[in-house]
Amino acid sequence: MVDVDGEHLEGVYTTGWIKRGPVGLIGHTKSDAAETIKNLVDDLTDESGEPRRTATDRSPQAVTDFLEARGVHPISWAGWELLDAHERGLGVPRGRERIKVVPRDEMIAITRGELPPT
């Protein structure tokens, strides 16, 4: 990825609309995704294809611990299910499949069980 001045941003990877803006269809952004994955793999492997860095603990919990140690709080599957149920519950009185919760803070609070279910 490059910044607004065209300078390469090491370790930053994007695809889809965040890379190109709201243009194109799935087929157009699919090639962007392939390019992004190629760049990611290239950055994580040396010239012979061997990994540059390897994790000592490859368990799913290790990924969560790694992120949380850096102030990133991932949403668990159970948390996503809470949000899904909440949005579906909002849709029922209006005869809709769901009503999307848009505010990020509200979505996160729902996934953490901090708001009562609908």
Q: For 56-115, write each residue's pLDDT tens digit.
A: 888 889 988 988 999 988 999 999 999 999 999 999 999 999 999 999 999 999 999 998
Average pLDDT over residues 21-43: 81
The pLDDT of residue 54 is 72
C-alpha to C-alpha distance for 46 and 76, rounded to whole angstroms: 33
Of 67, 72, 60, 64, whose CA–CA distance to 108 is shortest? 72
Of 55, 90, 98, 60, whose CA–CA distance to 68 is shortest? 60
* 117 has pLDDT over 70: no
The pLDDT of residue 91 is 96
Q: For 34-49, write each residue's pLDDT tens digit.
A: 888 988 888 888 888 7
* 1 has pLDDT over 70: no
The count of C-alpha atoms lying within 13 angstroms of the C-alpha of 35, restricted to the half-sphere facing its C-beta, is 11
C-alpha to C-alpha distance for 27 and 91, rounded to whole angstroms: 31
What does pTM read for this prediction?
A: 0.56
